[in-house]
Chain A
Amino acid sequence: AQSVTQLDSHVSVSEGTPVLLRCNYSSSYSPSLFWYVQHPNKGLQLLLKYTSAATLVKGINGFEAEFKKSETSFHLTKPSAHMSDAAEYFCVVSARNQFYFGTGTSLTVIP
């Protein structure tokens, strides 16, 4: 069975400080992992994906994530938050044609 847990429902950071959004997953198979961002009243936009190549994955807008199999984690990071990063972030695990979304982390960026 597959599942994904986003450990924080809300994260608040100051502009210019690092961002860490945490995601743990469970999968009986070799999963693909994704991070998506959703701005208000918009669809989801792909930030990055892991598909069993390099464990450190770089995405758009300065985001990156590291796949750690031993910890079953796929945390999303960014060195310096920007006001435009304020949004809802979803971690997704995919295996055997099933897609499981985390409950989302709402990121607030304080000026």
Chain B
Amino acid sequence: DSGVTQTPKHLITATGQRVTLRCSPRSGDLSVYWYQQSLDQGLQFLIQYYNGEERAKGNILERFSAQQFPDLHSELNLSSLELGDSALYFCASSPSAGPNQPQHFGDGTRLSIL
């Protein structure tokens, strides 16, 4: 058990809809990362938050947004959903923000767009 909790585990919705994925980091970790894993794109880094502030951005679409709250949990919002957004979305956390920090991953949220 990594200590990172993601909810929900599965999400099924339709094109054009909006969803929110939630992540609770390990106790004491200040940094949260979001990743998308799909068969065609592999694992892609989306965005990182550190102590409530955006720290780094990867291949995150404009239709996607994230935030980290004062209690350090994070949410990833996906809007105007398309079939290609179907993927496994992972959250990870680490104690601080540096690039050499090992990350601890949750078990992911599987998003299916019908």
Contact = CB atoms under 8 A, between A and B. Distances in A.
Contact of A103 (B42, B58, B108): B42
B42 A104 contact: yes
Prevailing SS type, chain B contact patch: strand
A4 to B, nearest CB: 11
A49 B43 contact: no
Contacts, number: 55
B2 interface: yes
A74 interface: no
Interface in A18-70: 31-32, 34, 36, 41-46, 49, 51
B79 interface: no
Interface string A84-98: 000000100011111
B70 to A, nearest CB: 22
Interface in B56-83: 56, 58
B85 interface: no
B100 A51 contact: yes
Contacts of A42: 107
B42 A94 contact: no
Contact of A101 (B44, B97, B102): B44
Contacts of B92: 43-44
Contact of B2 (A45, A49, A94, A97): A45
Given A32-B100, A51-B100, A97-B56, A90 B43 contact: yes
27 contacts: A32-B100, A36-B105, A43-B2, A43-B90, A44-B103, A44-B105, A45-B2, A45-B105, A46-B102, A46-B103, A46-B104, A49-B100, A94-B99, A97-B55, A97-B56, A97-B99, A98-B45, A98-B99, A99-B45, A99-B58, A99-B99, A101-B35, A101-B44, A101-B45, A102-B42, A103-B42, A104-B43
Interface of B: 2, 4, 33, 35, 42-45, 48, 55-56, 58, 90, 92, 97, 99-100, 102-108
